[in-house]
Amino acid sequence: MFFAVLTAILASAPPPEGAPPEAPFVTAPRTAEPVRTVEFDTARFHIVASERAEAPARALAPDLETLRDEVRTLVGRDWPGTTEVRVALGREEYEAMALPGSRPPGWAVALAWPAMNVVLVDARTIATPEGKTTLRHELVHIALGRLGNDWPRWFQEGVAQMVTNERQFRTEHYSTMAIAIATDRLYDFEVLRDGFPERPQDVEVAYAQSAEFVSFLFKRHGPAAFGELIDHVGNGVIFEQAFARAFHSSLTVEEADFRDDVALRYPWWPVLLGSGTALWALSGLLMAFAHVRRRRQVKALREHQKHLEQLEDTAVVLLGALPHAANEDGGAAVDPFPGVPWRITAVRSAS
């Protein structure tokens, strides 16, 4: 689970040490053994691909503009400048095409350097179902980094997951949130401002609650307030003050309301029922309950039938003991209980 999360959810890589904030394009890898590359452009992207990755890179080019439009719509703003996308094929090329001074983590299949307006991706990732999600995630980091500074880590990762819908329909996400709430393991967002914890299980909680909190804020305040927040931060206002101006509330108040909200939306019992052992145990209990209930229904039906038989026998005795009014022709007696559905509705008078 941790590997899957880290593969799809990648933190923005810091710019190389000493790099200016508006560094020019690095159109060729600066390594001891440079990779042969081809370059081409779209409206808002400059693509640098290794010769081996040229075909998937050209296939990717039209999708990049669409992905950028999606990020612009959801974030509320487009970022300035042309973004460089480097496409490598295989780990060796991937590491060779990273920016100078950077060494990609072994698990990373995509990285973003917002200050440099550069994204690096492995072409093998593009061909997977998660490929576009990964690229969209990295473009969110580019957007926030180009539109402002001093973004809390929880906000960056939460926005990225909201834009890419990475948490939807994932049982792991539900389990992580439900267990964290039940065991009181949710972090204060102040703790997640500058970074996430190191242990895998703690990282999962940090990512999950960041995604939930940003979605909570977006639904509560809407895209206009989010755009205002981005504008304030872009104008140099520190995040907490920008938050208060845009949402007309404090981070402390919103966090308290968020905790109440997720506690109702993520109860622990579906996690229990979702485990195989618990499910078999529940099935056994339901079968036992159904058996007992059926036995009780059969017993009650038999008691009811027995009671009806006793009533019918009593009716026969009572009808036989009553005087019977004969018809004018001296024939059959008149039923003393007209309309009562006894099995015997008329009795001959005794001779």
Q: For residue 60, how many C-alpha atoms fall within 13 Å in the half-sphere facing its CB?
A: 32
* Domain termination site, one of 147, 164, 191: 147
Boundaries of domain holding 110: 1-147
Predicted pLDDT of residue 290: 57
Given 130, 147, 164, which residue is the final one in a domain?
147
Nearby residues of 244 by Cβ (< 8 Å), 6 or more positions away: 250, 251
- Rounded Cα distance, 253 and 247, in Å: 11
| 175 and 92, same domain (yes or no) | no
Please, what sign has the CA dihedral across residues 316, 322, 323, 327?
negative
Q: Which of 239, 274, 309 is the last residue of a domain?
A: 274
3-state helix, strand and coil shares in percent for the chain, rounded to the nearest 5: 55, 10, 35
| Separation CA 5–CA 173 (nearest Å) | 10
What's this model's pTM, rounded to 2 decimal places?
0.63
Q: Looking at the structure, do residues 141 and 163 belong to the same domain, yes or no?
A: no
The answer for residues whose C-beta is within 8 angstroms of residue 334's C-beta and 6 or more apart is 324, 325, 327, 346
Given a contact cutoff of 8 angstroms between Cβ atoms, the answer to whether 67 and 135 are in contact is: yes
Q: Edge-to-edge strand order for the sheet containing 83-88?
A: 37-41, 45-50, 83-88, 118-122, 110-113
φ, ψ at 211 (rounded to 5°): -60, -45
47 lies in a domain?
Answer: yes
d(CA 158, CA 141): 11
137 and 181 inside one domain: no
Report the domain count for the chain.
2
Tens of each residue's pLDDT in the chain, 351 residues: 333 333 433 334 444 333 333 333 344 444 446 899 999 999 999 999 999 999 999 999 999 999 999 888 878 889 999 999 999 999 999 999 999 887 777 777 889 999 999 999 999 888 787 788 888 889 999 999 999 988 999 999 999 888 777 555 467 888 899 999 999 999 999 999 998 988 888 999 999 999 999 999 999 999 889 989 999 999 999 999 999 999 999 999 999 999 999 999 988 776 666 554 444 444 445 555 555 666 677 677 767 777 777 776 676 666 665 555 445 555 555 555 555 554 444 444 444
Domain for residue 24, yes or no?
yes
Q: What is the DSSP letter of 192?
A: T
Q: For residue 351, how many other CB atoms are within 10 A of its CB?
A: 3
Residue 50 placed within a domain: yes
CATH number at residue 20: 3.30.2010.30
pLDDT of 321: 59
Tell me, yes or no, whether 181 and 42 share the same domain: no
